[in-house]
């Protein structure tokens, strides 16, 4: 498949005429051919109209057909071969091994959701059979299933050009839920986006899905993204990016005539709590592991460990020494875009200049443009409590150590933190009692609590929560990674006294789909 | 227990000093002693602080203890005996049998949620065990459970002084989910609210729950209700009332520094679709059944059948005749409050005066103040499409018949309707093919589809959806009636590589709570 710079509207390739976007080689800053045409309002209208027209048919596709569609997308992405990998490496500046791994994750996600669709548990079938003899009133027959919310707008993320972009987690979970998807590509990787878009578009055709099941739009500004969230046919949105971008979409969605859910994954500093015994026994090892997590992918992960909390003392100093030594040997790394690099440098410079902040270590100096140099800072507990700006995420390989006088202060600091995607506890057995006292405060503000590890490396599974209370996400009631994400795009519908002939297959008494069901409130396995 | 007019803040009875509310005999308009003191900002602060302080302990109460707490509330409500029934009849103007039934429903709801808590499925436990040998990277151990969102603000509803008020569905589901509750009582039934509040307060004490698990506030204006939704310790709100009230709360919640979910059940006209064969075969019977549903509870149900859609012709005329005859014999009925009665009269008067609307029937004239007189109107399909005001709910026993030239037009009208709590189809077997074509449009905009019945009479069960797309509710992803409502107040938390000693009991490998669990994505029953 060849990159043309076109929009993909249903089965058509359409030249966008609303400005243009140029891909850039992240490592060199050189522009790459061809230019991508920005979508017009008419293109947006066409994509939304097609998505809406597709919805009723797509959401009732048999589970097996929908599962095969997801698997076909996965295979078509693999079939793009090295062209995809090379383009993605060039556009993102991320290493080849990472991009190959990310492709594996993307394909794995699509296949996992194929399994979720086949399994059918996401339909959440509940049947309360009629009780015609009940007194004083007979009981009606009630059957419940979940249906897709409607067409979903998906915003590609800069930092996961495959796994959270055109055919990433949001798209996979929305398609699995029975929702057509209109993607607004991220301008950081338009060529990657088009290639993956072509793979999805081909899968729609290969599998005979309704044309409007998928469209891909480029946008040279913000109009199309905003227009998508405002369009009355769009019933939910998935976004990964900055807090500013996410909250703007939340506000647009809340101001609609019909407000819709926005699932925005925004910002998190992912506190890492080092407990005394662990620090005493393993300060060096934890310091090195922390440095490795911090610089992974140039620190451009939502789960990057941006905050270290520990009781001050020689053990913490050893941790800092080990981490600093490791960071000093870390080469500067190409960042995703010149804009992200510039924002990182500005934020790191501001931290370094902050009166209450001390620079502990920097990574090796940059050897080329657009390379991020890791940074480790420290501050005091008092200063951290006083300065709200120190709680803000720095997107990139920067972290802040807060030297706490004692565990009680450390707990107060936890209580002052905003919502987080992850919180990590480094503990040995002697720390258990101390750690236990922190758990309620951490649970209240975190989607994923992890022990003796770091948040980077988000396992795509069934028990994963990649989400968390605001402002880490717009809606802490859900996850953007893992099979539970399908719930974000579903709503329950109840059918009362409906004749078998009119009931959806999922709700028919004979259970033709072989689903696990809740009968009179009691879960029953089909087999 | 005696009505004192006090606020219930934790275990204290506190005299509110911010204005006062007076209960009124709905049938006579006479004020009833005593006056209820309105809550001050300090009272609000005290209730929220207590709720917040209670949250961590309350959400970790053992399931059996929490279930017994819900059952104790139920028993304490029953123990209020006739005092509660009499006060509630006086304040609401609803018949004694209805109030006794509603008490049964309220108690039944609490007991149902006790069962849901014991069952433990609401925890949604998922375990993806570690795979230390996995290549290229070992897999971590991930375990997921759901936890309560935090303290919940519950707004009592005027039309269900027991089942959707102080210890109604919202309170029961929030308490079941592990969330403390602060109730803002509805001023239409303050005495009923206090009595039920005392029953809950006593249950908190009887069961040794944390003091702040429950508080009850009265408000002579809107400050306290708004203050509750704005308070940073409140993490969700449940509301049943007008669209104006609900959307105001939605906006407040969205504008918070940390936006929170508002579950507002607001307005619905609950379309009833009469299909040709059913109308031909059973026009009279359907007409009579419709009239009975329309006037139930003086029409003061969210699921009241406010719109009839049918193909024009002699069969529809027969339906109208039968319904009109039944309505003409229906005595006017006391409405919940003078304000609601006045709003009903105004809206019915506006409909009667509407150029495009014809009055088909009225119920018997009022014989006392505050009595609502049923009303049946008709209009044409064209007029209904042109006049948005005809789509608005009239709260009370008023309905509008839209005479459609054919089924295609009827379908267009369905596509022009807003989100609905219920849609009803009256069909015979010969109508199945026609009805099937309507189902997608109805599913997209309805929480509960029902056949050959009316939406009034909302079964409290496991397969019930009492919810629907905006504006019938604020959030169509949930239900306010039935066991699924517990999900509204939960969020998932994932635990990675956490030692058994620190894991919550629900997630421990030995499964000490005997829970159904999803292991590696596969549902497994505990027994």
Domain ranges of chain B: 8-110+150-266+478-488, 271-451
Residue B420, classed as helix, strand or coil, is: strand
B contact residues 54-73, partner A, Cβ 8 Å cutoff: 55-56, 60
Q: Which two tokens stand for residue B46?
A: 């005290």
Alpha carbons B450 and B423: distance in angstroms, whole number: 6
Is the CB of A494 inside 8 Å of chain B's CB atoms?
yes
Alpha carbons A106 and A161: distance in angstroms, whole number: 10
Report the Cα A190 to chain-centroid distance in Å.
19
List the one residue out of A518, A283, A312, A270 whose CA is nearest residue A414. A270
With cut-offs at 50, 70 and 90, classify the pLDDT of residue A527.
confident
Q: In this complex, which of A143, A451, A497 lies closest to B499 when CB atoms are compared?
A: A451
What is this model's ipTM? 0.97
Interface probe, candidates B305, B476, B492, B514, chain A, greatest A C-beta count within 10 A = B492
Over range A244-272, report the average pLDDT. Answer: 96
For residue B526, the model assigns a pLDDT of 93
C-alpha distances in Å from residue B21, one per residue of A29, B35, B37, B158, B219: 69, 6, 6, 15, 7
Alpha carbons B389 and B327: distance in angstroms, whole number: 24
pLDDT score of A136 more than 90? no
A contact residues 137-166, partner B, Cβ 8 Å cutoff: 137, 139-140, 142-144, 147, 149-150
For residue B1, the model assigns a pLDDT of 79
Residues making up chain B, counted from first to last = 527
Residues paired with residue B144 on neighbouring β-strands, in sequence order: B126, B494
Alpha carbons B181 and A371: distance in angstroms, whole number: 51
Which tens digit of pLDDT belongs to each residue from A436-465?
999 999 999 999 999 999 999 899 999 999
Is the CB of B259 inside 8 Å of chain A's CB atoms?
yes
Residues making up chain A, counted from first to last = 527
Is the CB of A187 inside 8 Å of chain B's CB atoms?
no
| Residues of chain B with C-beta less than 8 angstroms from the C-beta of A523 | 121, 516, 523, 525
Is the CB of A270 inside 8 Å of chain B's CB atoms?
no
With cut-offs at 50, 70 and 90, classify the pLDDT of residue A432.
very high
For residue B220, the model assigns a pLDDT of 85
Q: Which residues in A82-107 are b (16+ Cβ under 10 Å) and which e?
A: eebbebbbbbbbbeeeebbbbbebbb
| Contact at CB, A494 and B463, closer than 8 angstroms | yes
Which tens digit of pLDDT belongs to each residue from A376-389?
999 999 999 999 99
For residue A220, the model assigns a pLDDT of 85
Which percentage of chain A shows pLDDT scores above 90? 98
Residue in chain B closest to A465 (alpha carbons) equals B494
**HEC sequence for B405-427:** CCHHHHHHHHHHCCCEEEEEEEC
Q: Which residues in B151-186 are b (16+ Cβ under 10 Å) and which e?
A: bbbbbbbbbbbbbbbbbbbbbbbbbbbbbbbbbbbb
Q: In this complex, which of A452, A470, A493 lies closest to B449 when CB atoms are compared?
A: A493
Q: In this complex, which of A467, A476, A521 lies closest to B483 when CB atoms are compared?
A: A521
- Which residue intervals of A120-189 are DSSP H helices? 169-177
Which tens digit of pLDDT belongs to each residue from B124-164?
999 999 999 998 889 999 999 999 999 999 999 999 999 99
May I ask the CATH architecture of the domain B271-451? 3-Layer(aba) Sandwich (3.40)
Q: Which CATH class is domain A7-266+478-488?
A: alpha beta
Cβ–Cβ < 8 Å for B117, B59: no
| Residues of chain A with C-beta less than 8 angstroms from the C-beta of B152 | none
Q: How far is B475 from chain A (nearest CA, A)?
A: 8
Which percentage of chain A shows pLDDT scores above 70? 100
Interface probe, candidates A411, A452, A496, chain B, greatest B C-beta count within 10 A = A496
| Measured torsion, CA atoms of residues B464, A254, B269, B311, in degrees rounded to the nearest 10 | -100
| Contact at CB, A450 and B121, closer than 8 angstroms | no
| Contact at CB, A449 and B495, closer than 8 angstroms | yes
Cβ–Cβ < 8 Å for A96, A85: yes
Cβ–Cβ < 8 Å for B18, B35: no
Low-confidence stretches of chain B (pLDDT beneath 70): none
Cβ–Cβ < 8 Å for A388, A411: no
| Residues of chain A with C-beta less than 8 angstroms from the C-beta of B259 | 250, 254, 470, 474
Alpha carbons B473 and A142: distance in angstroms, whole number: 20
CB atoms within 10 A of CB A437: 12
- Residue holding tokens 């662990």? A278
For residue A128, the model assigns a pLDDT of 98
Cβ–Cβ < 8 Å for B422, B447: yes
Q: Which fold has domain B8-110+150-266+478-488?
A: Aldehyde Dehydrogenase; Chain A, domain 1 (3.40.605)
Interface probe, candidates A103, A128, A151, A463, chain B, greatest B C-beta count within 10 A = A463
Which tens digit of pLDDT belongs to each residue from A495-510?
999 999 999 999 999 9
Q: How far is B126 from chain A (nearest CA, A)?
A: 5
B contact residues 363-392, partner A, Cβ 8 Å cutoff: none
For residue A520, the model assigns a pLDDT of 97
Is the CB of A478 inside 8 Å of chain B's CB atoms?
yes
What's the angle, vertex CA B96, arms to CA B90 and CA B100, rounded to 5?
A: 115
Catalytic residue, candidates A302, A393, A404, A418: A302
Catalytic residue, candidates A265, A393, A404, A418: A265
C-alpha distances in Å from residue B298, one per residue of A67, B239, B373, B452: 50, 21, 8, 22
Give the mean pLDDT of chain A: 97
B contact residues 293-322, partner A, Cβ 8 Å cutoff: none
Up-side HSE of residue A391: CA atoms within 13 Å toward CB?
18
Q: Which two tokens stand for residue B264?
A: 């507002």
Is the CB of B491 inside 8 Å of chain A's CB atoms?
yes
| Contact at CB, B450 and A491, closer than 8 angstroms | no
Local structure of residue B66 (DSSP, 8 states): H
């Amino acid at each position: 498949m060849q990159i043309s710079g076109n929009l993909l509207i249903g089965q058509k390739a359409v030249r966008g005429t609303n400005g243009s976007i140029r891909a850039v080689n992240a490592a060199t800053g050189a522009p790459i051919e061809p230019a991508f045409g920005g979508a017009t309002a008419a293109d947006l209208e066409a994509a939304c109209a097609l998505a809406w027209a597709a919805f009723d048919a797509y959401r009732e596709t048999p589970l097996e057909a929908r599962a095969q569609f997801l698997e076909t997308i996965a295979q078509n992405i693999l079939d793009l071969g090295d062209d995809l990998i090379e383009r993605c490496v060039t556009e993102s500046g991320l290493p080849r091994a990472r991009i190959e791994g990310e492709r594996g994750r993307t394909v794995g996600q699509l296949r996992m959701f194929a399994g979720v669709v086949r399994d059918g548990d996401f339909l959440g079938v509940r049947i309360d059979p009629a009780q015609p003899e009940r007194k004083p009133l007979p009981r009606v027959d009630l059957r419940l299933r979940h249906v897709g919310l409607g067409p979903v707008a998906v915003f590609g993320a800069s930092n996961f050009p495959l796994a959270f972009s055109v055919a990433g987690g949001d798209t996979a979970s929305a398609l699995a839920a029975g929702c057509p998807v209109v993607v607004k590509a991220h301008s950081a990787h338009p060529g990657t986006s088009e290639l993956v878009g072509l793979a999805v578009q081909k899968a729609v055709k290969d599998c005979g899905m309704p044309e409007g099941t998928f469209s891909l739009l480029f946008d040279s500004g913000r109009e199309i993204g905003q227009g998508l969230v405002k369009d009355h046919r769009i019933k939910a949105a998935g976004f990964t990016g900055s807090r500013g971008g996410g909250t703007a979409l939340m506000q647009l969605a809340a101001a609609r005539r019909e407000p819709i859910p926005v699932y925005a994954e925004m910002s998190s500093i992912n506190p890492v709590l080092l407990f005394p015994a662990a620090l005493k026994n393993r300060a060096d090892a934890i310091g090195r592991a922390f440095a490795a997590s911090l610089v992974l992918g140039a620190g451009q992960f939502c789960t990057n460990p941006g905050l270290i909390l520990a009781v001050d003392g020689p053990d913490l100093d050893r941790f800092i020494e080990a981490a600093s030594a490791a960071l000093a040997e870390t080469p500067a790394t190409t960042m995703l875009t010149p804009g992200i690099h510039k924002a990182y440098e500005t934020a790191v410079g501001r931290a370094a200049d902050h009166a209450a902040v001390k620079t502990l270590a920097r990574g090796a100096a940059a050897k080329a443009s657009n390379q991020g140099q890791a940074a480790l800072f420290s501050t005091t507990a008092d200063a951290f409590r006083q300065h709200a700006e120190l709680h803000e995420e720095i997107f990139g390989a920067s972290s802040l150590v807060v030297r706490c006088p004692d565990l009680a202060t450390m707990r107060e600091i936890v209580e002052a933190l905003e919502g987080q995607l992850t919180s990590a506890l480094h503990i040995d057995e002697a720390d258990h009692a101390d750690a236990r006292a922190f758990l309620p405060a951490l649970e209240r503000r975190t989607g994923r609590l992890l022990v003796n590890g770091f948040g980077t490396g988000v396992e795509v599974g069934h028990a994963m929560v990649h989400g968390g209370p605001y402002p880490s996400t717009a809606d802490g009631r859900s996850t953007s990674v893992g099979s539970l994400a399908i719930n974000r795009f579903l709503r329950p519908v109840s059918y009362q006294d409906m004749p078998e002939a009119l009931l959806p297959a999922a709700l028919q008494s004979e259970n033709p789909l072989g689903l696990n069901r809740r009968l009179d409130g009691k879960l029953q396995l089909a087999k």
